[in-house]
Homo-oligomer: A and B are copies of this chain.
Amino acid sequence: MSSSGIVKPQTYMLEKELILDSGKKLKNIDITYETYGALNKKKDNAVLVLHALSGDAHCAGLHKKSDKHPGWWDAMIGKGKAIDTDKYFVICSNVIGGCKGSTGPSSIEPETNKSYGLSFPVITISDMVRVQKKLIEFLGIEKLHNVIGGSMGGMQVLEWMTKYPEMTASAVVIGSTSRLSAQGIAFNVVGRNAIMSDANWNNGDYYETKAPDNGLAIARMIGHITYLSDKAMHNKFGRRLQNSEKYGYDFKTEFQVESYLKYQGDRFVERFDANTYLYLTRAMDYFDLAGKYGSLSQAFSSVTANVLVISFTSDWLFPTYQSKEIVSTLMSLDKKVSFCEINSPCGHDAFLLEYEELTDLVFNFLGNI
Protein backbone atom coordinates (compact mmCIF):
# COMPACT_ATOMS: atom_id res chain seq x y z
CA MET A 1 0.00 0.00 0.00
CA SER A 2 1.04 3.57 -0.62
CA SER A 3 2.88 5.27 2.25
CA SER A 4 0.57 8.26 1.88
CA GLY A 5 -2.51 6.28 2.93
CA ILE A 6 -6.00 7.46 2.12
CA VAL A 7 -6.18 10.97 0.74
CA LYS A 8 -9.14 13.16 -0.04
CA PRO A 9 -9.23 15.62 -2.91
CA GLN A 10 -10.18 19.13 -1.85
CA THR A 11 -11.59 21.97 -3.86
CA TYR A 12 -10.90 25.67 -3.50
CA MET A 13 -13.14 28.05 -5.36
CA LEU A 14 -11.58 31.17 -6.78
CA GLU A 15 -14.54 33.48 -6.97
CA LYS A 16 -12.71 36.51 -8.24
CA GLU A 17 -12.74 37.01 -11.98
CA LEU A 18 -9.46 36.10 -13.66
CA ILE A 19 -8.28 37.65 -16.92
CA LEU A 20 -6.74 34.97 -19.13
CA ASP A 21 -3.97 35.30 -21.73
CA SER A 22 -6.63 35.34 -24.42
CA GLY A 23 -8.21 38.41 -22.82
CA LYS A 24 -11.28 36.40 -21.88
CA LYS A 25 -12.47 36.27 -18.30
CA LEU A 26 -13.29 33.34 -16.05
CA LYS A 27 -14.75 33.42 -12.55
CA ASN A 28 -15.90 30.98 -9.88
CA ILE A 29 -13.04 28.69 -10.83
CA ASP A 30 -12.90 25.40 -8.96
CA ILE A 31 -9.40 24.19 -8.23
CA THR A 32 -9.20 20.58 -7.13
CA TYR A 33 -6.05 19.62 -5.25
CA GLU A 34 -4.58 17.10 -2.88
CA THR A 35 -1.96 17.50 -0.17
CA TYR A 36 0.36 15.03 1.53
CA GLY A 37 2.51 15.63 4.63
CA ALA A 38 2.16 18.72 6.82
CA LEU A 39 2.94 22.37 6.33
CA ASN A 40 5.51 23.48 8.93
CA LYS A 41 5.11 26.57 11.08
CA LYS A 42 7.36 28.70 8.89
CA LYS A 43 5.33 27.53 5.89
CA ASP A 44 8.55 27.06 3.92
CA ASN A 45 8.44 23.32 3.27
CA ALA A 46 5.85 23.22 0.47
CA VAL A 47 6.51 21.33 -2.76
CA LEU A 48 4.14 21.88 -5.67
CA VAL A 49 3.82 18.92 -8.03
CA LEU A 50 2.55 19.72 -11.53
CA HIS A 51 0.92 17.12 -13.72
CA ALA A 52 1.22 16.20 -17.38
CA LEU A 53 -1.45 16.06 -20.10
CA SER A 54 -3.38 13.06 -18.81
CA GLY A 55 -2.52 13.46 -15.13
CA ASP A 56 -4.53 15.00 -12.31
CA ALA A 57 -4.34 16.19 -8.70
CA HIS A 58 -4.17 12.61 -7.41
CA CYS A 59 -0.40 12.07 -7.47
CA ALA A 60 0.00 9.92 -4.34
CA GLY A 61 -1.94 7.75 -1.91
CA LEU A 62 -5.28 6.08 -2.45
CA HIS A 63 -8.79 7.53 -2.56
CA LYS A 64 -10.21 4.42 -0.93
CA LYS A 65 -8.73 1.24 0.45
CA SER A 66 -9.98 -0.84 -2.46
CA ASP A 67 -8.20 1.29 -5.10
CA LYS A 68 -6.03 -0.92 -7.27
CA HIS A 69 -3.56 1.83 -8.09
CA PRO A 70 -2.24 4.74 -6.04
CA GLY A 71 -1.80 8.27 -7.45
CA TRP A 72 0.28 8.67 -10.60
CA TRP A 73 3.59 9.64 -8.87
CA ASP A 74 3.20 7.61 -5.70
CA ALA A 75 6.64 6.06 -6.28
CA MET A 76 8.14 9.54 -5.90
CA ILE A 77 6.03 10.99 -3.08
CA GLY A 78 5.75 9.63 0.46
CA LYS A 79 7.65 8.75 3.59
CA GLY A 80 11.36 8.48 2.77
CA LYS A 81 10.73 8.82 -0.95
CA ALA A 82 12.18 11.33 -3.43
CA ILE A 83 9.73 13.95 -2.19
CA ASP A 84 9.70 12.96 1.48
CA THR A 85 6.36 13.70 3.12
CA ASP A 86 8.06 13.52 6.53
CA LYS A 87 9.86 16.69 5.50
CA TYR A 88 7.70 18.34 2.90
CA PHE A 89 4.13 19.48 2.49
CA VAL A 90 3.26 18.29 -1.00
CA ILE A 91 0.51 19.95 -3.04
CA CYS A 92 -0.78 18.79 -6.41
CA SER A 93 -3.59 20.59 -8.18
CA ASN A 94 -5.54 19.67 -11.27
CA VAL A 95 -5.01 22.21 -14.07
CA ILE A 96 -7.86 24.40 -15.27
CA GLY A 97 -9.17 23.11 -18.58
CA GLY A 98 -8.88 19.62 -17.07
CA CYS A 99 -11.62 17.10 -16.40
CA LYS A 100 -10.73 15.90 -12.91
CA GLY A 101 -12.42 18.45 -10.70
CA SER A 102 -10.90 21.78 -11.69
CA THR A 103 -13.03 23.94 -13.96
CA GLY A 104 -12.80 22.91 -17.59
CA PRO A 105 -14.92 22.47 -20.70
CA SER A 106 -16.95 19.64 -19.14
CA SER A 107 -17.82 21.78 -16.06
CA ILE A 108 -21.22 23.40 -15.70
CA GLU A 109 -21.26 27.02 -16.82
CA PRO A 110 -23.16 28.94 -14.09
CA GLU A 111 -24.89 31.26 -16.58
CA THR A 112 -26.34 28.52 -18.75
CA ASN A 113 -26.43 25.59 -16.33
CA LYS A 114 -24.95 23.48 -19.13
CA SER A 115 -21.42 22.23 -19.74
CA TYR A 116 -19.15 24.91 -21.19
CA GLY A 117 -18.06 22.82 -24.16
CA LEU A 118 -16.27 25.08 -26.65
CA SER A 119 -17.55 28.21 -24.91
CA PHE A 120 -14.85 27.51 -22.34
CA PRO A 121 -12.04 29.99 -23.06
CA VAL A 122 -8.82 28.69 -24.58
CA ILE A 123 -6.23 28.58 -21.82
CA THR A 124 -2.45 28.63 -21.71
CA ILE A 125 0.23 27.14 -19.47
CA SER A 126 0.51 30.61 -17.99
CA ASP A 127 -3.21 30.62 -17.14
CA MET A 128 -2.85 27.25 -15.40
CA VAL A 129 -0.01 28.65 -13.30
CA ARG A 130 -1.88 31.90 -12.60
CA VAL A 131 -4.63 29.84 -10.99
CA GLN A 132 -2.16 27.63 -9.07
CA LYS A 133 -0.63 30.80 -7.60
CA LYS A 134 -4.04 31.76 -6.18
CA LEU A 135 -4.28 28.33 -4.58
CA ILE A 136 -0.80 28.64 -3.04
CA GLU A 137 -1.69 32.07 -1.65
CA PHE A 138 -4.95 30.67 -0.29
CA LEU A 139 -2.91 28.00 1.51
CA GLY A 140 -0.91 30.81 3.13
CA ILE A 141 2.36 29.94 1.46
CA GLU A 142 4.58 32.84 0.40
CA LYS A 143 7.38 30.85 -1.14
CA LEU A 144 7.42 27.30 -2.44
CA HIS A 145 10.41 25.22 -1.46
CA ASN A 146 10.12 23.54 -4.82
CA VAL A 147 7.99 23.20 -7.93
CA ILE A 148 8.44 19.98 -9.89
CA GLY A 149 6.88 18.32 -12.90
CA GLY A 150 7.46 16.35 -16.10
CA SER A 151 6.30 16.96 -19.65
CA MET A 152 3.44 19.51 -19.60
CA GLY A 153 4.12 19.66 -15.86
CA GLY A 154 7.67 20.76 -16.68
CA MET A 155 6.27 23.58 -18.81
CA GLN A 156 4.35 24.77 -15.76
CA VAL A 157 7.54 24.58 -13.67
CA LEU A 158 9.33 26.76 -16.23
CA GLU A 159 6.43 29.21 -16.13
CA TRP A 160 6.50 29.32 -12.30
CA MET A 161 10.22 30.07 -12.04
CA THR A 162 10.01 32.63 -14.84
CA LYS A 163 6.86 34.47 -13.80
CA TYR A 164 6.92 34.16 -10.02
CA PRO A 165 10.61 34.03 -9.03
CA GLU A 166 9.84 35.45 -5.59
CA MET A 167 7.64 32.43 -4.87
CA THR A 168 9.90 29.73 -6.34
CA ALA A 169 12.90 28.73 -4.24
CA SER A 170 13.76 25.81 -6.49
CA ALA A 171 12.49 24.08 -9.59
CA VAL A 172 12.80 20.62 -11.17
CA VAL A 173 12.02 20.42 -14.89
CA ILE A 174 11.78 16.83 -16.16
CA GLY A 175 11.52 15.73 -19.81
CA SER A 176 10.17 19.05 -20.95
CA THR A 177 10.82 22.04 -23.19
CA SER A 178 10.68 25.82 -23.16
CA ARG A 179 8.68 25.76 -26.38
CA LEU A 180 6.82 23.01 -28.17
CA SER A 181 8.55 21.94 -31.38
CA ALA A 182 6.90 21.82 -34.81
CA GLN A 183 6.84 18.03 -34.50
CA GLY A 184 5.18 18.30 -31.09
CA ILE A 185 2.55 20.65 -32.49
CA ALA A 186 2.07 18.28 -35.42
CA PHE A 187 1.23 15.31 -33.20
CA ASN A 188 -1.22 17.49 -31.27
CA VAL A 189 -2.83 18.65 -34.51
CA VAL A 190 -3.48 15.09 -35.62
CA GLY A 191 -4.89 14.09 -32.23
CA ARG A 192 -7.23 17.08 -32.20
CA ASN A 193 -8.23 16.43 -35.77
CA ALA A 194 -9.18 12.87 -34.87
CA ILE A 195 -11.46 14.17 -32.11
CA MET A 196 -12.98 16.98 -34.15
CA SER A 197 -13.57 14.63 -37.11
CA ASP A 198 -15.54 12.22 -34.93
CA ALA A 199 -19.19 12.38 -35.93
CA ASN A 200 -20.11 12.49 -32.21
CA TRP A 201 -17.98 15.51 -31.41
CA ASN A 202 -20.77 17.89 -32.45
CA ASN A 203 -18.61 20.99 -32.13
CA GLY A 204 -17.82 20.11 -28.53
CA ASP A 205 -21.45 19.84 -27.45
CA TYR A 206 -21.72 16.13 -26.65
CA TYR A 207 -22.17 16.02 -22.87
CA GLU A 208 -25.76 14.91 -23.13
CA THR A 209 -25.23 12.69 -26.16
CA LYS A 210 -22.63 10.15 -27.23
CA ALA A 211 -19.03 11.32 -26.73
CA PRO A 212 -16.42 11.30 -29.53
CA ASP A 213 -14.78 8.19 -28.11
CA ASN A 214 -13.28 6.93 -31.36
CA GLY A 215 -11.54 10.22 -32.01
CA LEU A 216 -10.23 10.50 -28.45
CA ALA A 217 -8.99 6.90 -28.54
CA ILE A 218 -7.06 7.61 -31.75
CA ALA A 219 -5.55 10.75 -30.22
CA ARG A 220 -4.46 8.68 -27.23
CA MET A 221 -2.96 5.97 -29.43
CA ILE A 222 -0.87 8.57 -31.25
CA GLY A 223 0.17 9.94 -27.87
CA HIS A 224 1.29 6.55 -26.65
CA ILE A 225 3.54 6.03 -29.64
CA THR A 226 5.26 9.33 -28.85
CA TYR A 227 5.64 8.45 -25.16
CA LEU A 228 7.57 5.27 -25.94
CA SER A 229 10.78 4.93 -27.91
CA ASP A 230 11.43 2.70 -30.91
CA LYS A 231 13.61 0.56 -28.65
CA ALA A 232 11.06 0.47 -25.81
CA MET A 233 8.41 -0.71 -28.26
CA HIS A 234 10.79 -3.30 -29.64
CA ASN A 235 11.63 -4.57 -26.15
CA LYS A 236 8.03 -4.51 -24.98
CA PHE A 237 6.26 -5.97 -28.03
CA GLY A 238 8.63 -6.60 -30.90
CA ARG A 239 6.66 -8.22 -33.71
CA ARG A 240 4.98 -10.73 -31.42
CA LEU A 241 1.45 -11.79 -32.22
CA GLN A 242 -1.33 -11.71 -29.69
CA ASN A 243 -2.98 -15.12 -29.83
CA SER A 244 -1.38 -17.06 -32.61
CA GLU A 245 1.91 -17.95 -34.23
CA LYS A 246 0.62 -17.35 -37.72
CA TYR A 247 -0.68 -14.25 -39.45
CA GLY A 248 -4.45 -14.02 -39.68
CA TYR A 249 -4.43 -12.18 -43.04
CA ASP A 250 -7.20 -9.86 -41.98
CA PHE A 251 -7.61 -6.52 -40.21
CA LYS A 252 -8.36 -7.86 -36.76
CA THR A 253 -6.11 -6.99 -33.83
CA GLU A 254 -3.17 -9.29 -34.28
CA PHE A 255 0.15 -7.84 -33.15
CA GLN A 256 0.73 -7.26 -29.43
CA VAL A 257 1.57 -3.63 -30.07
CA GLU A 258 -1.77 -3.29 -31.87
CA SER A 259 -3.61 -4.77 -28.91
CA TYR A 260 -1.71 -2.53 -26.48
CA LEU A 261 -2.56 0.65 -28.36
CA LYS A 262 -6.22 -0.24 -28.72
CA TYR A 263 -6.41 -1.11 -25.03
CA GLN A 264 -4.82 2.21 -24.08
CA GLY A 265 -7.22 4.08 -26.35
CA ASP A 266 -10.27 2.28 -24.97
CA ARG A 267 -9.27 2.77 -21.32
CA PHE A 268 -8.50 6.44 -21.83
CA VAL A 269 -11.98 7.36 -23.06
CA GLU A 270 -13.40 5.98 -19.82
CA ARG A 271 -11.52 8.52 -17.74
CA PHE A 272 -10.87 11.52 -19.94
CA ASP A 273 -12.86 14.23 -21.67
CA ALA A 274 -12.25 14.83 -25.37
CA ASN A 275 -12.65 18.61 -25.09
CA THR A 276 -10.07 18.69 -22.31
CA TYR A 277 -7.73 16.91 -24.71
CA LEU A 278 -8.26 19.76 -27.18
CA TYR A 279 -7.72 22.49 -24.58
CA LEU A 280 -4.63 21.03 -22.94
CA THR A 281 -2.87 20.19 -26.19
CA ARG A 282 -3.62 23.70 -27.46
CA ALA A 283 -2.11 25.13 -24.28
CA MET A 284 1.02 23.11 -25.03
CA ASP A 285 1.09 24.32 -28.65
CA TYR A 286 1.04 27.90 -27.40
CA PHE A 287 3.85 27.40 -24.89
CA ASP A 288 6.90 29.33 -26.08
CA LEU A 289 8.89 31.27 -23.50
CA ALA A 290 11.33 32.68 -26.07
CA GLY A 291 8.44 33.82 -28.26
CA LYS A 292 6.66 35.43 -25.32
CA TYR A 293 9.61 37.26 -23.78
CA GLY A 294 11.61 38.01 -26.94
CA SER A 295 14.28 35.42 -26.16
CA LEU A 296 14.87 32.62 -23.69
CA SER A 297 17.56 34.76 -22.04
CA GLN A 298 15.08 37.54 -21.47
CA ALA A 299 12.51 35.05 -20.18
CA PHE A 300 14.99 33.66 -17.65
CA SER A 301 16.58 36.98 -16.67
CA SER A 302 14.54 37.26 -13.47
CA VAL A 303 14.88 33.62 -12.39
CA THR A 304 16.20 33.23 -8.83
CA ALA A 305 15.34 29.57 -8.26
CA ASN A 306 17.91 26.84 -7.95
CA VAL A 307 17.04 24.73 -11.01
CA LEU A 308 17.49 21.06 -11.81
CA VAL A 309 16.82 19.97 -15.39
CA ILE A 310 16.46 16.27 -16.24
CA SER A 311 16.12 14.66 -19.66
CA PHE A 312 16.13 11.08 -20.95
CA THR A 313 18.34 9.69 -23.71
CA SER A 314 15.48 8.01 -25.62
CA ASP A 315 12.86 10.76 -25.20
CA TRP A 316 12.19 11.89 -28.77
CA LEU A 317 9.07 13.94 -27.95
CA PHE A 318 11.04 16.32 -25.70
CA PRO A 319 14.59 15.45 -26.74
CA THR A 320 17.64 16.26 -24.65
CA TYR A 321 18.68 19.13 -26.93
CA GLN A 322 15.57 21.00 -25.75
CA SER A 323 16.58 20.53 -22.09
CA LYS A 324 20.12 21.60 -22.92
CA GLU A 325 18.78 24.81 -24.43
CA ILE A 326 17.17 25.63 -21.06
CA VAL A 327 20.35 24.72 -19.18
CA SER A 328 22.77 26.62 -21.38
CA THR A 329 20.59 29.73 -21.30
CA LEU A 330 20.39 29.64 -17.50
CA MET A 331 24.17 29.07 -17.32
CA SER A 332 24.85 32.00 -19.62
CA LEU A 333 22.87 34.13 -17.16
CA ASP A 334 24.87 32.79 -14.17
CA LYS A 335 21.79 31.17 -12.67
CA LYS A 336 22.01 28.17 -10.36
CA VAL A 337 21.32 25.20 -12.60
CA SER A 338 22.15 21.50 -12.63
CA PHE A 339 21.49 19.10 -15.47
CA CYS A 340 21.28 15.35 -15.79
CA GLU A 341 20.48 13.23 -18.82
CA ILE A 342 19.27 9.87 -17.58
CA ASN A 343 20.22 6.90 -19.73
CA SER A 344 16.90 5.17 -20.33
CA PRO A 345 15.29 3.17 -23.14
CA CYS A 346 11.78 4.15 -21.93
CA GLY A 347 11.30 7.25 -24.08
CA HIS A 348 9.26 10.19 -22.82
CA ASP A 349 7.43 7.90 -20.38
CA ALA A 350 10.70 7.59 -18.44
CA PHE A 351 9.55 10.37 -16.08
CA LEU A 352 6.89 7.92 -14.91
CA LEU A 353 9.22 4.91 -14.84
CA GLU A 354 12.85 5.66 -14.00
CA TYR A 355 12.17 6.07 -10.29
CA GLU A 356 15.51 4.89 -9.00
CA GLU A 357 17.55 7.49 -10.85
CA LEU A 358 14.90 10.18 -10.37
CA THR A 359 14.77 9.51 -6.63
CA ASP A 360 18.54 9.86 -6.25
CA LEU A 361 18.52 13.14 -8.13
CA VAL A 362 15.40 14.72 -6.67
CA PHE A 363 15.93 13.59 -3.05
CA ASN A 364 19.42 15.06 -2.96
CA PHE A 365 18.47 18.20 -4.83
CA LEU A 366 15.55 18.98 -2.51
CA GLY A 367 17.69 18.40 0.57
CA ASN A 368 20.43 20.77 -0.58
CA ILE A 369 18.63 23.93 -1.58
- A340 at interface, CB cutoff 8 A: no
In the complex, which of the residues B181, B185, B288 contacts A258, with contact meaning CB atoms closer than 8 Å?
B185
Q: Is A218 within 8 A of B233, CB to CB?
A: no
- A5 at interface, CB cutoff 8 A: no
Interface residues of A in 219-238 (CB under 8 A from B): 221-222, 224-225, 228, 230, 233-234, 236-238
Q: Is A251 within 8 A of B278, CB to CB?
A: yes
In the complex, which of the residues B194, B196, B230, B255 contacts A194, with contact meaning CB atoms closer than 8 Å?
B194
- A134 at interface, CB cutoff 8 A: no
Q: Is A222 within 8 A of B190, CB to CB?
A: yes
Q: What is the interface of chain A mostly: helix, strand, loop, or mixed?
A: helix
Given contacts A122-B249, A249-B21, A261-B190, contact A236 B199 (CB under 8 A): no
Q: Is B262 within 8 A of A22, CB to CB?
A: no
Most buried by B among A198, A218, A233, A262: A218
- A215 at interface, CB cutoff 8 A: yes
What per-residue 1/0 map shows which CB atoms of A126-152 lie under 8 Å from chain B? 000000000000000000000000000
Given contacts A258-B189, A282-B251, contact A233 B194 (CB under 8 A): no
- A319 at interface, CB cutoff 8 A: yes
Given contacts A230-B319, A261-B186, contact A221 B249 (CB under 8 A): no
Instruction: List the number of copies, as a whole number.
Output: 2
Contacts of A217 in B (CB 8 A): 193, 197
Given contacts A233-B186, A249-B121, contact A288 B239 (CB under 8 A): yes
Contacts of A199 in B (CB 8 A): 199
In the complex, which of the residues B182, B230, B249, B265 contacts A316, with contact meaning CB atoms closer than 8 Å?
B230
Min CB distance A204 to B, Å, is 9
Q: Is A193 within 8 A of B181, CB to CB?
A: no
Contacts of A285 in B (CB 8 A): 255
Most buried by B among A21, A189, A278, A285: A189
In the complex, which of the residues B24, B118, B189 contacts A221, with contact meaning CB atoms closer than 8 Å?
B189
Interface size on A, residues (CB 8 A): 58
Given contacts A190-B261, A249-B24, A258-B189, contact A225 B183 (CB under 8 A): yes
- A187 at interface, CB cutoff 8 A: yes
Contacts of A192 in B (CB 8 A): 251
Q: Is A182 within 8 A of B319, CB to CB?
A: no
Q: Is A197 within 8 A of B221, CB to CB?
A: no
In the complex, which of the residues B181, B186, B197 contacts A214, with contact meaning CB atoms closer than 8 Å?
B197
- A308 at interface, CB cutoff 8 A: no
Q: Is A221 within 8 A of B239, CB to CB?
A: no
Contacts of A265 in B (CB 8 A): 193
Min CB distance A124 to B, Å, is 8
Q: Which residue of B lies closest to A322 (CB)?
A: B230
Nearest 9 CB-CB pairings of A with B: A22-B249, A182-B233, A197-B214, A122-B249, A199-B199, A183-B230, A182-B237, A182-B257, A189-B258
Q: List 28 A-B contacts (CB under 8 A).
A: A21-B249, A22-B247, A118-B251, A122-B249, A179-B239, A181-B230, A181-B234, A182-B230, A182-B234, A182-B236, A182-B237, A183-B230, A185-B255, A185-B258, A186-B221, A186-B257, A186-B258, A189-B221, A189-B255, A190-B221, A190-B225, A197-B198, A197-B215, A222-B222, A239-B288, A239-B291, A247-B286, A316-B316
